[in-house]
Amino acid sequence: MSMTDKSVSKVSLISIESTSRRVLENLFHYYVYDMSEFMGWAPNDQGQFPFRLSQFDVYWQREDHFPYFIYVEGELAGFALVRKYPANRSVYDIEQFFVLRKFKGQGVGKQVLELILKSYPGKWQIRVLKENTGALHFWKSAVSRIVGSDYRLCEDIDVDLTMHFVRFQVST
């Protein structure tokens, strides 16, 4: 690897067992902190960005929800929460996706997306907050690496927010 090559060599996805749920909850605090930039959330009186722990229950209760830890060369680097989209169960959706800052800009997220799509061929969508232009740039680049220009970018409503949707299909 040259000095200018910032890509990492060993990225893996490991299914999150219910016994490791607490690790996901701990990492999620960093995700919520990062998202506060776009959502305007403030920390509580304890200095934490709160979230509902119960939101993760579905990942161990339903067969159409798939939680993963991201590892880089054996080191915990983030998580990916994949599901069938509640409003259209024929579409896979990345509900939450988080890579620790230490690993950003090294191709980790793109490699993770490739691993996910190999495991779940079919119709896909990735939702991105309108304000999060950096994430939108990342997802367009990551998706185009896999499907070229064969994706559709549009705005749509997700629950109560207008978001960017990147929609595409992956075959086996």
This prediction has a pTM of 0.89
Of 85, 103, 106, 86, the residue nearest 94 (C-alpha): 85
| Amino acid, res. 42 | A
The confidence score (pLDDT) of residue 7 equals 60
Query: Is the predicted pLDDT of residue 147 greater than 50, yes or no?
Result: yes
All domains in the chain, ordered by first residue? 11-170 (3.40.630.30)
Return the DSSP state at 168: E
CA gap 72, 51 in Å, rounded:
26
**How many other C-beta atoms lie within 10 A of the C-beta of residue 153?**
15
User: What does the pLDDT look like over 47-67, one tens digit per residue?
Assistant: 787 787 888 999 999 999 999
| Secondary structure of residue 149 in the 3-state scheme | coil
The confidence score (pLDDT) of residue 42 equals 81
User: What does the pLDDT look like over 33-45, one tens digit per residue?
Assistant: 887 777 777 888 8
